[in-house]
Structure 1
C-alpha cells in the first residue's frame, strides 16, 4: 500500500466497494465472542507513523497492521484535548452532550468524574459477560469520586488516575485498582504495558475488553536509554535542549527522545499482537489503534520538524484538522480485509454504537443519548454503512471553540467567551489544510452550520466556554 496516498485521499468520500446487503449482526453471530483491545495513545499526530506519511521515525509493527488491516483517512478524535476526548469515547456522546467537556482539575489528584448515570464502554462489555481492564491514563474521576475506572465498568485498572500525574514517566506511584503501588524508579509505560500483557494471558480463555491508554508520546520526553533510543542517537540535529519547567522533565535531546518514544510505542503494539498470536486468540480479537487528539508542542516536542500533523493546520487544543484528525487502524485477522482503506468520516463517539453492534446486544443499549453511528459495516465490509449528517466538537479552553463538519463543509467558531465570536468556513475536500476561510463567500452555509452548533450544544453548569485548567 502506498502510504503517501492518505492525505491526498483524505477529502474524498469514497466507500469500500465490497459493501453488500448482509446484516452485520448475522456475521457477528458466527464469531466466538470476539475480544476487543482499544489502544488509545496520547497526543499522536496524523503523520507520526510511517503508514500515514512519517519518513523519519520507524514504526514497522503499525505498518504491518495497516497492511493486514484497515486504516481510516478521516477519523477524528472526540475533541482536541484529553479528558473530554476520553469521556466522549467512553459514553458515545459528543462534547456538546458529555458531562466532561474540558480538563477540569481536582486537587490534590484527579479530574472531574464521569456521570455515574451514563453507561461506559466498560459497562457495555462487563454487563455482557466480558472481563474488562484499563491500563494507562484514566483522567475521568478523582480517587473516591465514584468515577474511577473500577467504578465505571472496569474489573481491573493499572496506571494513572490523574492526568497531571501522567506528565511524569517516572512517577512515585501508579494505581493498582484503588491501591497505590510505589514504583521506585520504574518507567511507567513498561510497567503498564507488562500489566496489559498479563491481562491478555490471564484471560485468554475468556472474552475480554482491554482499554490500553498508553501516554506515549505525550510530554515529558524521556524513557530508558536503551537500544530504541540508540537507533536515533545523532540522527537529528538538536537545536537546543529543553530544560524542566516544572510540568515536564529536562530533555537534552528532545528530537531523539520523541522519535524513540514513537518507536517504543510501536514496539509495544508488536508485542501485543505477538501475545495474541502466542495465546492463539489473534483471530478472535479486534485490535484498534488511535489517539485521543492531535500532536503537542510541549516539553521540547517539535511536531513541525517531524511533520507529525501532516501539514494539517493546528495542533492539540485547536479544532482545525491538525488538532483532531488522527490515525485509526483496525486489525482482525480473517474478518477485516487486509490493506483496506476507509474514507468515511468517523469519530471517537462512534465506538459505543460500533461495539453495541459487534456484541449484538439488546436494544436497550442503543440509547437515545448516543450521538455516534456504528462503523462495523465498514470494518467488516458487510452491510450498509450509515453516514454522519454532521460531526460536532466543543473546546472549553482558550476562550472557547466549537466546530462542525457536514459533508465537505466545516465551520469553526472561535473566542466564544468574548461575546463576539468569529467564524471560519472551509471546504475540506478542496482545502484540507484549511488555508482559505471562505465564510464571506458562503453566508448561507455559515448560517446552516451555526444552527447545528447552537442545537447540539446543551448548556453545562461546569463548562461554559471559559478558560478552564489546561493540561
Structure 2
C-alpha cells in the first residue's frame, strides 16, 4: 500500500463525517450504482427507444434526472469499470483494456489503487458488489479481488469471459466458488460456455441479493454496486448456436414476428428494467427513498454480438458506432439519477459528465475530502438543482488498444477529437454533428492544435498498456 493511500484511509477512518446532503438529518445517504452491460444510449424508452419496453426506468427518469451527455469510462468493460472505481480517466487509471488470459495482472486493480468502495468503506459504509467485476481474479490477478478493493460482500463473476454465460455453472461468493444447478457446455477454462440445461439466471440471482442487502442494511449507510450482465451477449453461444441472447423467456416479445435473437435481446432489457423497478419499490417500502441516491448507467455502448439485428432497435440512438468505437455510439451511455426529495422530478441535464465523477460525488455525499490525483468532479450540485455551482470538465479522455492504439477526447463539451497512433487527427463539432461524420480540423486549426497538445500529454506511462500501431 502506498503512503498516500494509507494516509487517506487513516484520515477517513477518524474524520468526523457529516454532510448536509442527507435527506435524513444525522445519517449519511446511501448510494446505489446500477450498471447495465453493453446497453446502448438509445435502448431505453426515455431515450427514444420505440420497441423495447422499459416502464420502470422510464418512470425513474420521470421521477428523477436524465443526463443526455453522460459518458462511460471506456468503450469496453474492464477499463470502463476501472475508471468508475478509481475516479481516474482512461489514460491514468490502472486497467486500460481487456487483457484477458494473456496478461491477467494487467486487468487487475492493485493494492496501491484507491477505489470508491474503499473510500466509502472507510467512511463507515457497508459495501457490496453483486454481478460482474472484471478487475481481479483468482491467481495472478488476485490483487484486484473485490474483497481486497473495498467490498464487504461480493457475489458474481470475477472475469468477463465467465460473465458471457447468463446461466453459469458457478459463481463466486467473496473468494469461494459456489455451484449452480445449470448444466453447462464449457468453452475454455474461464467458466465461459453456454447452458444446455438452463435453470438459474444470473441476473435474477443478483437482483435477489441486491434486495436482500438493502433490506439487511436499512439502518446504516450502504454502497451497492449492482453490476448486471445484460444485455451483453453470450459470445460463445453465438459462435456455437448463432444466438447469444439467452434469456429465461421472451416476456412481452414472445408473439412478435422477430427472430429469436431479437426477441431475446429485447427481453433481456425488459427483464433488467423490472429488476430495477423492484429495487426502487423496496426503497420506498423501507422508507429509504429520501436518503438513497440511485444511479443507473451502462459500462459502454451497445454490442452487435448476439446474432440480433441492431438495425431493428437502433441502440446507439443518433450517434455513430457501437461498443469498441470511440465515436459517441461506443461511449455515450444512458444515465439516470433518482433521489426523491433531493432530485427534482423530470429534470434533464446536458452537462458533460462521466464514470470518473462517481468518486468525487461519493466523497462529497460521505462528507469527506475527495482523494488526491483523481479526474473527478462532484455531481452533487447538479443533483440538488444547483448546476450553476458545479465545476465542468475541460477535457474528457478515452483510448483503445485493440487493433492499434487510438485516442479520443471531448473538449469544452463540444469538440470531439479522435486519432490513431501515427495517424491524422479528426475533429468533430458535436454541437452540429452528433453523428461525427464531418471532420472540421482544417476549419478550426486552433482547436485542433489545442486538443492535439492535450492528447499528447493526457496519459501516464503504463508498462502494461504500451501504445502500438497494430
Does the alignment reach a TM-score above 0.5?
yes
Alignment partner, residue 409 of structure 2: 404
Structure 2 counterpart of 1:102? 97
Match for residue 461 of structure 1? 463
Cα offset for 1:223?
4.4
Give ranges in structure 1 of 5+ residues lacking alignment. Answer: 1-23, 239-252
State the 1:461 CA deviation. 0.4
Residue 32 of structure 2 aligns to a residue whose secondary structure is strand
Match of 1:289?
Answer: 296
1:91 is aligned to 86
- Please give the secondary structure, in 2, of the residue aligned with 1:297: coil
Quick check: 1:283–1:333 contact (8 Å CA) kept in 2? Answer: yes
CA–CA distance in structure 2, aligned partners of residues 66 and 426 of structure 1: 29
Q: 1:432 to 1:52 in 2, by over 3 A?
A: same
Say which SS state the counterpart of residue 106 (structure 1) adopts. Answer: helix
Judge conservation of contact 2:166–2:247 (CA < 8 Å) in 1. no
Q: In the alignment, which of 404, 428, 431 is matched to residue 429 of structure 1?
A: 431
3-state SS of paired residue (1:263): helix
Q: Which runs of 5+ in 2 are unaligned?
A: 1-17, 183-199, 235-243
Give the deviation of 1:194 after TM superposition: 1.1
Partner residue, 1:392: 397
When the two chains are superposed, the root-mean-square deviation of aligned CA atoms in Å is 1.9
CA change 1:342–1:114 in 2 (3 A) is same
Judge which range, 439-448 or 60-69, deviates more: 439-448
How far did 1:31 drift?
A: 5.9
- How far off is 1:158 after superposition? 0.3
Deviation at 1:237, TM superposition (A): 3.3
Conserved? CA contact 2:87–2:376, under 8 Å: yes
Please point out which of 341, 344, 355 is paired with 2:348. Answer: 341
Residue 49 (structure 2) aligned to one of 54, 70, 81: 54
> Which of 34, 44, 50 is residue 39 of structure 1 equivalent to?
34
Q: Do the aligned partners of 1:110 and 1:140 also contact (CA within 8 Å) in 2?
A: no
Picking from 108, 114, 137, the partner of 1:119 is: 114
2:212 to 198, 206, 230: 198
Partner residue in 2 for 1:370: 374
Shift of 1:367: 2.8
| Structure 2 length-normalised TM | 0.86
Offset from partner CA, 1:229-272 (integer Å, 9 cap, x none): 1411242433xxxxxxxxxxxxxx10000000010000010011
Contact 1:111 1:140 in 2 (8 A): no
Pair 1:237-2:242 in alignment: no
SS at match of 2:437: coil
Distance 1:180 1:56 in 2: 39
Residue 208 of structure 1 and its aligned partner are, at CA, apart by: 0.6
Answer yes or no: is the 8 Å Cα contact 2:94–2:113 preserved in 1: no
CA distance in 2, matches of 1:344, 1:161: 33
Please state whether the residue corresponding to 1:132 is helix, strand or coil. Answer: strand
User: Post-superposition shift, 1:129?
Assistant: 0.5
Match status 1:267 vs 2:262: no
Match of 2:451 among 442, 449, 470: 449
C-alpha distance in 2 between matches for 1:230 and 1:190? 14
- Could you tell me which of 128, 131, 148 is aligned with 2:126? 131
Task: Give 1:172's match in structure 2, choosing from 165, 169, 172.
Answer: 169
Equivalence for 2:72: 77
2: distance between equivalents of 1:225 and 1:109?
32
2: CA distance, partners of 1:450 / 1:194: 48
**Aligned-partner Cα distance in 2 for 1:282–1:442:** 48
Q: In the TM superposition, what whole-angstrom CA distance separates every residue of 1:330-376 from its partner, at most 9, and x where no partner exists?
A: 00010100001111000100110111111111x3xx23310111111
